[in-house]
Chains A and B, each alone.
Chain A
Amino acid sequence: MNLARRILVGVPYLWLLVLFLVPFGIVLKISLSDIALAIPPYTPTLDLSEGWAAVGEYFAALDLENYVFLTTDDLYWKAYLSSLKIATLSTVLTLLVGFPIAYGMARAPAEWRPALLMMVILPFWTSFLIRVYAWMGILSTEGILNQFLLWIGVINEPLIILNTNIAVYIGIVYTYLPFMILPIYSTLEKMDESLLEAAEDLGCSRTQAFWFVTAPLSRPGVIAGCFLVFIPALGEFVIPSLLGGSRTLMIGKVLWEEFFNNRDWPVASAVAVILLLILIIPIVLFQRNQENQREAGR
């Protein structure tokens, strides 16, 4: 029994320690190292066979140089700021698009709701990459959208959307929309309809009833949805890489290029550490929101 229990706790625990926590330690360590023309391309590397003196030297060789570099080169802090801006704005846009859909779903007749829910979940199961790719054909200068707009005569020459930040916003709103709709829908669906009737009986107009009753009650879902969009959008790579242009600065893309194109592992690691530090605040807030909701649900 005791052995079984130890295995039950131990195996997944050990797996996550080795493949999740330890790798972060390595990233942190490499972010303090220097780039080198070697395999692996950084220095120092630890050689335990040389005893304690080597360990001392090893730690002495670690420094914050890469972090200093990140502050001196414009590219990095501009990329962080621009990622924050893109992630924030697209979270707001996703909320504006997603809330009315979730609201409509929650108010639909009960027998429609499973089908509507299915229709929101289906795109979520379809490949992310494919959904981003779908927009490339739509947004390009000779794409469907421009053809359509030219045909109905709204514009005289094609709009340049693909490879701009606008395309990135569209991509994020489109791909993350289910993450916004689902938590909002689940709070709205649980809402007691008689509260709205009570509000209207007490003299609220329908709009007032929405703002005084529905909106506050949907708050946990809205918060969860916003975090579920904001957190991954901040580190997004695929969308800025396929839909954004050369001037689209997002930190996930910078990290990728630093690693794969410039082969500067220490700087890539330092970029990752800073991104993680930025994300700790929203991640902690998100988990607190989830725990509160779970407590309330019991």
Chain B
Amino acid sequence: MRRLSGFNIVSLTLGFAFLYIPMIILVIYSFNSSKLVTVWAGFSTKWYGELLHNEAMIDAAWVTIRVAFFSSTIATVLGTMAAYVLVRRGRFAGRTLFSGMIYAPLVMPEVITGLSLLLLFIAIGMDRGVLTIVLAHTTFSMCYVSVVVSSRLITFDQSLEEAALDLGASPFEAFRLVTLPIIAPAVISGWLLAFTLSLDDLVIASFASGPSATTLPIKIYSSVRLGVSPEINALSTIIIAIVTVGVLSASIISKRQITRRMKEEAAAG
């Protein structure tokens, strides 16, 4: 039986306080009526109102969501393919290089990835805009998807696929009818991860974007560099709220799936 010692309780409390207090303060001050972010002058929602009328910010938000949607969708397809190839397809020419290219972007400093992609886009004469950001984001987030999906592929029973093949399914049918439903939760969480990474990214987007496309992080960064502003606090609060709701509901859904699977297994066994 594990027991929490006093030390454990103190370190958990302090640790989570450290993780959450800065964000709570950020949220509280988004409701401050003073322009000075550090002086509390009463409750107000006026910064949210101003945010709604800030068209540059709203445009940037739409660009960001579009980029995130397209890049995470393409990344999910490519990343799932890559994971399947790496886990199931054994040896092929250039496999080491391939797996290296899957893992390297995960640890590559963003400034290097951004710089190298920008130099590529310029070398081939591509105008920088939404498309180049989508390409850039797809490239690094497909690697994250591939890692998430391959960890699920490794743990599931390969004989299920083999059984489907023995029963006359084509490899594609076996994938669609057997493999995909089993790895679906991992594919979905891979998509969500790719989507958030894209929403979040400042450095790579700054290199890959041109004057025609500004994403929300670029907008936030350029305003924050000049100092703290209550409008950015309001925007941050909205983003934190969306992420919290998203993550919590995703975890509740996956928890339900796990309990259902356990029940099914218990019934079958």
A1-24 contacts to B (CB < 8 Å): 1, 4-5, 8-9, 11-13, 15-24
B119 in the interface, Cβ–Cβ < 8 Å?
A: yes
A13 CB contacts on chain B under 8 angstroms: 94, 98
Contact between chains at B109 and A252 (CB < 8 Å)? yes
Contact between chains at A122 and B247 (CB < 8 Å)? yes
A183 CB contacts on chain B under 8 angstroms: none
A241 CB contacts on chain B under 8 angstroms: 225
Report the interface size for chain B: residues with CB under 8 A from the other chain: 84
Contact between chains at B112 and A101 (CB < 8 Å)? no
Contact between chains at B111 and A272 (CB < 8 Å)? yes
A174 CB contacts on chain B under 8 angstroms: 18-19, 22
A128 in the interface, Cβ–Cβ < 8 Å?
A: yes
Closest to A118 in B: B251
Contact between chains at B104 and A235 (CB < 8 Å)? no
Q: How far is the CB of B251 from chain A (nearest CB, A)?
A: 6
A35 in the interface, Cβ–Cβ < 8 Å?
A: no
Q: How far is the CA of A98 from the CA of B5 in the complex (A)?
A: 17
A-B contact pairs, 11 of them (CB 8 A): A12-B81, A17-B101, A109-B4, A116-B12, A125-B246, A133-B26, A137-B29, A234-B109, A237-B111, A238-B221, A265-B119
Interface residues of B (CB under 8 A from A): 2-5, 7-9, 11-12, 15-16, 18-20, 22-23, 25-26, 29, 37-39, 78-79, 81-82, 84-85, 89, 92, 94, 98, 101-105, 107-112, 115-117, 119-120, 122-123, 135-136, 138-139, 142, 146, 171-172, 196, 199-200, 202-203, 206-207, 217, 220-221, 224-225, 227-228, 232-233, 236, 239-240, 243-244, 246-248, 251, 255
Interface residues of A (CB under 8 A from B): 1, 4-5, 8-9, 11-13, 15-24, 26-27, 30, 40, 97-98, 100-101, 103-105, 107-109, 114, 116, 118-123, 125-131, 133-138, 140, 142-144, 147, 174, 177, 193, 227-228, 231-232, 234-238, 241-242, 252, 255-256, 259-260, 265, 268-269, 272, 275-276, 279, 283, 286-287
